[in-house]
Amino acid sequence: RTSSQLGTIFPEQDEPHDCHIVIVGGGTAGWMSAATLKRRVGCRVTVVESDRVPPIGVGEATIPAMVDWIENMGIDEDEFIRRTGATYKLAIRFDDWIEPSHRYWHPFGICGCSIEGVDLIHAWQRGVREGWLPNDSQYTDYSFQKELCDHGCGPRQPGMPSIAENYAFHLDAGKLAVFLREVALAEGVQHRVGDVEDAPLDEHGNIACLCLADGSPLQGNLYVDCTGFASVMIENAMNSPWEDWSEQLICDRAITFRIAGNTSQQDDGAVDVGRRALAPYTISTGMNAGWSWQIPLAENTGCGYVFSSKHISDEAAKSELCALVGADPDMVSAKTVPMRIGMRPRQWIGNCVSIGLSAGFVEPLESTGIFLVQRALDELFECLPPATPLAFHAGHFDHATFNGRMTEVYRQVRDFVLMHYVVSRRRDTPFWIDAATVDQPESLRGLLDEYVSTGRVRLPQRDPTFAEANHHFILSPAGVRAGTHEFGHPGESPAIPGVPAGQYQPVHPSVIFDSIRASHRELCAALPAHD
Ligand code: FAD
């Protein structure tokens, strides 16, 4: 059917010259897109949501970009925390990833300070090599966020801004969905309940209108596919190809459940379940056939196991996760979620753009799902013409820039997540043998080679999702040493950033390291417990 055949059944638009963005899907991506586009583009926005297909209802950890979104939307952080059952997230603790009983940390932010513009890791590596830092010294000993995690502190005093520049939230996905919907409706977004059954194209290959199950049509200038893995418009109508990454990231399923109270794995490996100090970090544990998360929420703990169905059954995965978190398998009701790993290099075709799971998905090891929605919205905004009736037309949309940028963003996330597996030394189960020895994409192989030989991290030119320090956090504990980055002469003390040479007495670099820790301890002592 073409638009001219359908033309007669369209009701007249209320305001014929108005620009109209129609978003299909009422999950996190749909409501977040609606609120953001309404505020930033300012035109009419409608969300159509099925009451037959529930949203995926997972997605409990975020990265610091979420803080920016809240601020840009004019939302009060305290209210956000209360409404979404959130806690602060300052780091991820990785247990049993490099080998059984090994532990490392991926905190937000950088460690200490850079020295002469060079990341602290280079001075730290030198200190360990030359013996002026202790042998058991860790790079993350100089992270403020890690210091806060060690002491169970939150990043701010009530009523004050955060002292830690980089922080994020753990949140309750169900509560987030309700909150986002309220925010969007308050912005003036319109809401319709209904199943989209068809999206016929016009003679230019654009979506002419949406046909809802109740027989009514819905017409817009731009259609945003937020229908999750169903990909109702971008796949079924626009035929946008899917680039499959399941050969590289081999986990394809997850089970999730909540347990009362908060869990914490103690140093002796024992699990303690009960109401105890609320950890300001996520725990990610390497399992027999994948990895698990434990996410402390205000009221309970979110647990999940991301696994490869070739290596473990749903039932066995549930038992293994229950054993880890000290839950009774007969008492928990677990949800199983199939995962499709990959992305669409053409996320925007004609007047249809996909955002969220319909655009792509990388397993949630670094909590990037909600961030990728935000990033797509930022890029989309830059590639849209002004919302005037003449300009707001598929012919004026900058698809190529948007698709190129989003492809780069998704591939960096894929490489960064895959890096956790390829540097693992675990070979104790068939899963780890398979997951750690996959064929690496050329981009990741190149990044690792360059890192080892020059100490540089090859980053995307535009707003890298993971910066240099993030790579050091994963590579250093795995024993991958950054190539030497020469600054000064060997044995000479590095300059203090911002202070011209000659205006200070050179100090031994160990003094800088000591002062970083001392100042972190002092700041930490002034902050309240995370609870
Ligand atoms: P969905 O939530 O699936 O929503 C799809 C919507 O489309 C629903 O409202 C449905 O009703 C509607 N729909 C479908 N078909 C139709 C139709 N024909 N007509 C009308 N409406 C329709 N992200 C993070 O940031 N952090 C995490 O820790 C994290 N953990 C995750 C763990 C797992 C196991 C998985 C799978 C994902 C995780 N994510 C995480 C990703 C995150 O869940 C998603 O990015 C986010 O929820 C967005 O989902 P969505 O809105 O695209 O899709």
List the CATH number of the domain containing 232: 3.50.50.60
Q: Which pLDDT does position 7 carry in this prediction?
A: 31
232 lines ligand 1 (CB under 6 A): yes
State yes or no: pLDDT of 262 exceeds 60. Answer: yes
Atom number in ligand 1 closest to CA 30: 51
Q: Does residue 91 fall inside a structural domain?
A: no
Same domain, 29 and 121: no
pLDDT digits (tens, 9 = 90+) for 327-371: 999 989 999 999 999 999 999 999 999 999 999 999 999 999 999
364 lines ligand 1 (CB under 6 A): yes
Domain end (from 412, 429, 458): 412
pLDDT-derived band at 489 (thresholds 50, 70, 90) equals very low
Same domain, 50 and 135: no
Structure tokens at 432: 């780890």
Rounded distance from Cα 344 to ligand 1 centre (Å): 16
Atom number in ligand 1 closest to CA 228: 53
Q: Are 475 and 419 in contact (CB under 8 A)?
A: yes
Structure tokens at 120: 């602290």
Q: Which pLDDT does position 372 carry in this prediction?
A: 98
Same domain, 220 and 346: yes
pLDDT digits (tens, 9 = 90+) for 44-55: 999 999 999 999
Q: Which pLDDT does position 158 carry in this prediction?
A: 84
Domain end (from 355, 386, 412): 412
pLDDT-derived band at 317 (thresholds 50, 70, 90) equals very high
Same domain, 80 and 176: yes
Domain end (from 338, 358, 389): 338
Q: Does residue 531 fall inside a structural domain?
A: no
Q: How many domains does the chain have?
A: 3
DSSP state of 201: B
State yes or no: pLDDT of 266 exceeds 80. Answer: no
Query: Average per-residue pLDDT in the chain?
Result: 89
53 lines ligand 1 (CB under 6 A): yes
Specify the 3-state DSSP secondary structure of 231: coil
Q: What stretch of H or E contains 531?
A: none
Using DSSP bridges, classify how beta strands 44-49 and 196-198 pair: parallel, antiparallel or unpaired.
unpaired
Atom number in ligand 1 closest to CA 173: 47
Rounded distance from Cα 373 to ligand 1 centre (Å): 10
263 lines ligand 1 (CB under 6 A): no
Same domain, 7 and 69: yes
- Strands, sheet with 360-361, edge to edge from the N-terminal-most edge strand: 243-244, 342-343, 360-361
What is the C-alpha R_g of the chain? 25
State yes or no: pLDDT of 268 exceeds 90. Answer: no
Between these two residues, 275 and 247, which has the higher pLDDT value?
Answer: 247
Q: What is the Cα–Cα distance from 449 to 411, expressed in whole angstroms?
A: 18
59 lines ligand 1 (CB under 6 A): yes
55 lines ligand 1 (CB under 6 A): yes
Q: For 474-486, what is the mean pLDDT?
A: 86
Q: Which pLDDT does position 506 carry in this prediction?
A: 64
Rounded distance from Cα 149 to ligand 1 centre (Å): 30
pLDDT-derived band at 424 (thresholds 50, 70, 90) equals very high
Q: Which pLDDT does position 276 carry in this prediction?
A: 54
Q: For 53-71, what is the mean pLDDT?
A: 93
Q: For 154-166, what is the mean pLDDT?
A: 87
Ligand 1: residue whose CA is nearest its atom 31: 59
pLDDT-derived band at 504 (thresholds 50, 70, 90) equals low
Q: Which listed residue (38, 89, 146, 318) is catalytic?
A: 89
Q: Does residue 104 fall inside a structural domain?
A: no
Q: Does residue 95 fall inside a structural domain?
A: no
Ligand 1: residue whose CA is nearest its atom 27: 59
Q: Are 320 and 305 in contact (CB under 8 A)?
A: yes
Q: Where would I find the beta strands (DSSP E) of 239-326?
A: 243-244, 253-260, 262-265, 271-274, 281-287, 290-296, 300-307
50 lines ligand 1 (CB under 6 A): yes
Q: Does residue 99 fall inside a structural domain?
A: no
Q: What is the Cα–Cα distance from 111 to 269, expressed in whole angstroms?
A: 27
pTM to 2 decimal places:
0.92
Q: What is the Cα–Cα distance from 92 to 372, expressed in whole angstroms?
A: 19
State which residues form the domain around 465: 110-169+416-525
Rounded distance from Cα 387 to ligand 1 centre (Å): 28
Single-letter amino acid code for the residue at 462:
R
Structure tokens at 326: 């000290």
Q: Does residue 363 fall inside a structural domain?
A: yes
Got the DSSP string for 405-463?
A: HHHHHHHHHHHHHHHHHHT----SSHHHHHHHTSPPPHHHHHHHHHHHHHS-----SS-
Rounded distance from Cα 77 to ligand 1 centre (Å): 24
Q: Does residue 97 fall inside a structural domain?
A: no
Percentage of the chain lying above the pLDDT 70 cut: 89
Q: Which pLDDT does position 273 carry in this prediction?
A: 46
Q: Which pLDDT does position 217 carry in this prediction?
A: 92
Rounded distance from Cα 71 to ligand 1 centre (Å): 23
Q: Which pLDDT does position 502 carry in this prediction?
A: 56
Same domain, 236 and 376: yes
196 lines ligand 1 (CB under 6 A): yes
pLDDT-derived band at 10 (thresholds 50, 70, 90) equals very low
25 lines ligand 1 (CB under 6 A): yes
Q: Which pLDDT does position 492 carry in this prediction?
A: 41
Atom number in ligand 1 closest to CA 195: 19
Between these two residues, 160 and 339, which has the higher pLDDT value?
Answer: 339
State yes or no: pLDDT of 157 exceeds 70. Answer: yes
Same domain, 321 and 353: no
Same domain, 311 and 202: no
Same domain, 238 and 293: no
Judge whether 146 counts as a catalytic residue.
Answer: no
Rounded distance from Cα 167 to ligand 1 centre (Å): 23
Atom number in ligand 1 closest to CA 339: 36
Q: Which pLDDT does position 126 carry in this prediction?
A: 86
Q: Does residue 101 fall inside a structural domain?
A: no
Same domain, 267 and 236: no
State yes or no: pLDDT of 169 exceeds 50. Answer: yes
Same domain, 363 and 237: yes
Dihedral pair phi/psi, residue 224, rounded to 5°: -110, 120
Same domain, 209 and 257: no
Rounded distance from Cα 122 to ligand 1 centre (Å): 40
378 lines ligand 1 (CB under 6 A): no
pLDDT-derived band at 103 (thresholds 50, 70, 90) equals very high
60 lines ligand 1 (CB under 6 A): yes
